[in-house]
Structure 1
Amino acid sequence: MILGRLAYPLRMGVLIGAVLASGCSVRSIMVRTAAPLITHGIPAFYEEPDPVLGAQAMPSQLKLLEVLLRNDPKNRRLLAALAEGYTGYSFLFIEDEFPDRAAKLYQRAAGFGKRLLRPGDDFTAWLAKTGKRDVAGLYWTASALAGWANLDLSNPEALAAIPRAEKMMLRVLELDPGFQYGGADVFFGVLNSARPVIAGGDPKKGQEHFKRALAYSDGKFLPAKLLYMQYYTVTVMDEDLFRKLHDEIVGADPDALVEMRLANEVAKLKAKRLMEQIDDLL
């Protein structure tokens, strides 16, 4: 997810005009000056209460970041924001209605994440050397790879990325298990619930991961609860829990986690759509 205040597009548009008219070194300096301003605006975007406004605002902001990155290709702030932004945009607004498009956007997000992380030829050795400064990159890159594979099951390249995504998320669990409200636990909750038992899936273990993730926000981060509803309850055919989680999501206090207001409002909409499909799912 991305940017912040609605005044930014105008300000950044003026900045970009100046940047493109400048020399290479000047462009890099100006982009590096602008990048912190942009990333500091991210919380304001997360707090947006209107999903429609959020969905309309994100594409232009993402393209703005790409324009800035073109002038400073190794800028870590911009690469991190783009990996997170395209992953969040795909999950929140695109994948349910346009899965093919979402798969491509997840792939793009993973590309930015790889540029940020720069894994070496020896993936295992590189991963062992990652530290807390790499947690965000690991998390969003792994999330993007998993999202891509989930929506592009006929693509061998996408499926081949899953083992690396798992290893990166395990590293997140080691370094910072509470990152993104237990996001790594949500990842393994989905994986263990959705994967067939014969292929290594374990719904019971998946539920344990979901419960651990929800504890980080006291159940207030609704996307985690939504995925619990969407994957675990459907796999084990638990209609009572499905309905319980639905009611908790749609009835949640919108001000309970203001810093994640947009994601929570979208989760409510998604939960309602899942309930409309209950006869097909359970």
Structure 2
Amino acid sequence: MHPYRPRTPYWILPWTVLLFLPLVWTGCASAVAGRFADSLSAAILDANDLETVETGGPAYLLMIDGFLREDPHDESLLLSAANLYAAYAGLYVTDPARKRKLTDKALDYALTAFCIRNRKGCDLRKASFEDFRKTVAAAKTADVPVIYTLGATWAAWIEAHRDDWDAVAEISRVDALMTRVIALDEGYRDGGAHQYLAILATLLPPALGGRPEIGRHHFERAVALSEGKNLMVKVTYARRYARLVFDRGLHDRLLTEVIEADPEVAGHTLVNTMAQKEARLLLDNADDYF
């Protein structure tokens, strides 16, 4: 992926947000922290200024770490932290070592949330694949947010560690998690589980075990279920599948549709703004690729 390269150093933090922390802890800290995390997450998703989010993101990471130090067993906060760390690493971080560090933390938070939800799954990462599969197969509809977040952060972790074949070998675990999400609630997060399965299927070329046609099926389902609201689905479809199989027509059509779309969609504006930037970059260098 051709990542957005910020001009503003990430370490310039909005200290006024940090000064707000003592006020947050007044009263019922956990409840206030949870509401604040939810509201701030929504505000971030609806932002259309990539640099503002890139600059403020590290402050929020530190803030939610602080909340969890106070209440390390809050499932909602753990899921928020896992999602934010994985998303920030994927959208903004280009240094491989730093990306690995952030996704390590995201996965740890997600695994802790799963353990809180299901005490039998506290050793999930060490379990044999057969035991892992049985644990995931027992998940119910109410567990979907937890298993989806675990699958999403695990996929981000694999992407960050893709040079490590032991990490890549864990693809089957993400596949099991997202397959269960689809079985329980296919439309969750606008069909996001299909997008993750598509990415995993196209992570490697066919000669090394990639499954591009399975990936295409999942991309098509993700596009249909998102109803065009999540433009990053089409960008990922173009970059992961169309480029992998050298389908220039599909590649250019998908990216043109992204560029011509309105990015201002509740809950998707930030990602859509990033998607349009990436779409332009991919189209600009398409002649060199194809």
Q: Same fold (TM over 0.5)?
A: yes
Matches within 5 A, 1:20-31: 29-31=28-30
Which residue does 2:280 correspond to in 1?
Answer: 272
Mapped to 2, the partners of 1:200 and 1:160 lie a distance apart of: 11
Q: Higher helix share goes to which structure?
A: 1
- Code of the residue aligned with 1:204 in structure 2: it is E
CA distance in 1: counterparts of 2:257 and 2:29, whole angstroms = 46
TM-score, structure 1 as length reference: 0.85
What is the one-letter code of the residue matched to 2:99?
A: A
- Answering whether residue 108 of structure 2 is matched by residue 108 of structure 1, we say no
Q: What is the alpha-carbon distance in structure 2 between the residues aligned to residue 103 and residue 272 of structure 1?
A: 27
Structure-2 separation of matches of 1:254 and 1:120: 40
Is the Cα contact below 8 Å between 1:87 and 1:140 reproduced in 2? no
> Which runs of structure 1 show a deviation greater than 6 angstroms over 4 or more consecutive aligned residues?
none
Give the whole-Å Cα distance in 1 for the aligned partners of 2:197 and 2:32.
38
3-state SS of 1:179 partner: coil
Counterpart in 2 of 1:205?
214
Separation in 1, partners of 2:223, 2:259: 16
SS in structure 1 at match of 2:202: helix
Give matches, 1:102-181, under 5 Å. 102-118=99-115, 119-121=121-123, 122-181=131-190
Q: Which runs of 5+ in 2 are unaligned?
A: 1-13, 116-120, 124-130
Pair 1:98 & 2:95 matched: yes
1:210 to 1:8, Cα distance in 2 relative to 1, 3 A = farther
Q: Which residue of 2 aligns with 1:3?
A: none
Residue matched to 1:262: 270
Structure 2 distance, partners of 1:226, 1:218, is: 15
Deviation at 1:12, TM superposition (A): 4.0
Q: Is the 8 A contact 1:233 1:241 kept in 2?
A: yes
Looking at structure 2, the residues matched to 125 and 240 of structure 1 have their Cα atoms a distance apart, in angstroms, of 42
Aligned residue type for 1:60: A
In 2, Cα distance between the equivalents of 1:120 and 1:30?
26
Bigger RCO (CA 8 Å, 6+ sep): 2
Deviation, structure 1 residue 63: 0.9
Is this contact kept in 2: 1:185–1:213, CA < 8 A? yes
Q: What SS is found at the alignment partner of 2:71? A: coil
Aligned length: 265
**CA displacement at 1:216 relative to structure 2:** 1.5
Q: Is 1:186 the equivalent of 2:203?
A: no
Superposition RMSD in Å: 2.4
- 1:13-92 pair list within 5 angstroms: 13-15=21-23, 29-92=28-91
Asked if the contact 1:110/1:140 (under 8 Å) is kept, the reply is: no
User: For structure 1, which runs of at least 5 residues remain unmatched after alignment?
Assistant: 1-5, 20-25
Whether contact under 8 Å (1:109, 1:144) holds in the other structure is yes
TM norm structure 2? 0.83
Distance across 2 between alignment mates of 1:8 and 1:161: 41
